[in-house]
Structure 1
Amino acid sequence: MASSPTLPISNPQSESQPPIATPAFRAFLSRLNATIRHGLSQRRPWSELIDRSSFSRPDTLSEAASRVRKNFSYFRVNYVSLIALSLALSLLTHPFSLLMLLALLAAWVFLYLFRPADQPLVIGGRTFSDRETLGILVVSTIVVIFLTTVGSLLISAMLVGLLIVCTHGAFRVPEDLFLDEQDPANTGFLSFLGGAASSAAAAAAPVVARV
């Protein structure tokens, strides 16, 4: 006796679940990767940064401030990289703070910024509106940053990075550097910060508009 043909069985519940990597999230990651590559391509050679023959003590405080301004205009990508390295090393030496920041970032990304508009947030059988989700995330961010050791760790790492940058900028003689005063201030790594922020705002606009 011939068996009847098997009909394909589909799972409506699984089909209704969109992938975590939404098109907006993929576009944001692509833009972020492109802006990071573009920013790093603007950095100066590290050998030029640590040229020992170009260091001397400034005579006055105003001269030191002028050197810091000129050196930052020339080495801005390298300086931002040094500050980022200081933050990264501080977080790597404190794994618990790093995990808390990653969890907080993941919560913002997947629970609010790139969550599909047609899917409400449901936790423990309770449905949370967009305003409630935003409020919970804001309170969680305040608690993590200001009421734990994460905030003090980030501030101390930032201060260490700024101290290194200012010290180098004050003692590095900028006379041998080619400084183009016509370059806009938002080039290099600063354009990466602006580009990434604008991408995040554009990708999150449909979600924010529904609040």
Structure 2
Amino acid sequence: MATPAVVPTSNRQPTTAVAPSDAGVVAAFVPNPAFRSFLNQIIENVRNGLSQRRPWRELVDRSALSKPESLSEATLRIRKNYAYFRTNYYVIIAAVIGLSLLSNPFTLCLLLALLAAWLFLYVFRPVDQPLVIFGRVFSDFEILAALILSTVLVLFLTSVGPLLVTSLLVSVAIVCAHSVFRVPEDFYFEEQQAQAQAPPTGIISLLTGAATKAAAAPAAASRV
């Protein structure tokens, strides 16, 4: 009696294939090691920068406030107070700009979308990974031109630009007013000399330092 043939079976699960036209778009938004390194470096640098801030009660000490007697004295106070309260002033500026953006969600969404487009479509997109949208391959020059044009349109034809400029001017005015009326203490001189020999710190230098270190990654070395 013949033995019936055994039909081979397979337990493989069906996989969902990604259309070739969408592969470039999906790959562009997948976080890569360079982007993760960039975020980790920003968090580390911001944490180190915030650790150098002065006590806030020292910043708002009313007994140390007085009107300057001359313009030269006001200028000297600004220089000394900026050297001493530099990190606190950066925090105030960032807080004012952040509150201004939170008060206008549409502007915040536009700014975040613009930042994400720059990061994922140009800065941290792998060199050997072309951007393919609807079956069309876009070159680096086309992507850069589109991003620059989008940035100009967002900043000058929407409320993003005026809001950023206004909030920046308001925050700088607050910082200048405090530094003019805050009487510097004697220990400012030692702090100012120590900081003159130290590398620059602050929110801008923290971000630029993080971007420079992240640019050393192979995936982003040709663009950053």
Q: What TM bracket, shorter-length normalisation?
A: 0.7 to 0.9
TM-score if structure 2 supplies the norm length?
Answer: 0.83
Partner of 2:164 in structure 1? 154
Partner of 1:195 in structure 2? 209
Aligned 8 A contact 1:38 1:188 in 2: no
Distance in 1 between the 2:202 and 2:119 partners? 26
Distance in 2 between the 1:64 and 1:174 partners? 11
TM-score if structure 1 supplies the norm length?
Answer: 0.88
Among candidates 21, 26, 43, match of residue 33 of structure 1: 43
* TM-aligned CA deviation for residue 145 of structure 1: 1.1
Q: How does 1:1-211 map to 2 (within 5 A)?
A: 4-6=8-10, 8=12, 20-179=30-189, 180=191, 181-183=193-195, 184=198, 186-189=200-203, 191-203=205-217, 205-208=220-223
Aligned 8 A contact 2:78 2:179 in 1: yes
Bigger Rg, structure 1 or 2: 2
Distance in 1 between the 2:210 and 2:174 partners? 26
Evaluate the alpha carbon distance shift between residue 105 and residue 76 of structure 1 in structure 2; reply closer, same or farther with a 3 A threshold: same
* TM-aligned CA deviation for residue 41 of structure 1: 0.6
* TM-aligned CA deviation for residue 9 of structure 1: 6.0
Distance in 2 between the 1:207 and 1:78 partners? 35
Evaluate the alpha carbon distance shift between residue 51 and residue 39 of structure 1 in structure 2; reply closer, same or farther with a 3 A threshold: same
Aligned 8 A contact 1:67 1:173 in 2: yes
Percent identical across equivalent pairs? 51
Q: What is the aligned length?
A: 208
SS in 2 for 1:208: coil
- Structure 2: which 5+ residue stretches go unaligned? none
Question: How large is the Cα RMSD of the aligned pairs?
Answer: 2.4
- Structure 1: which 5+ residue stretches go unaligned? none
Distance in 1 between the 2:199 and 2:127 partners? 37
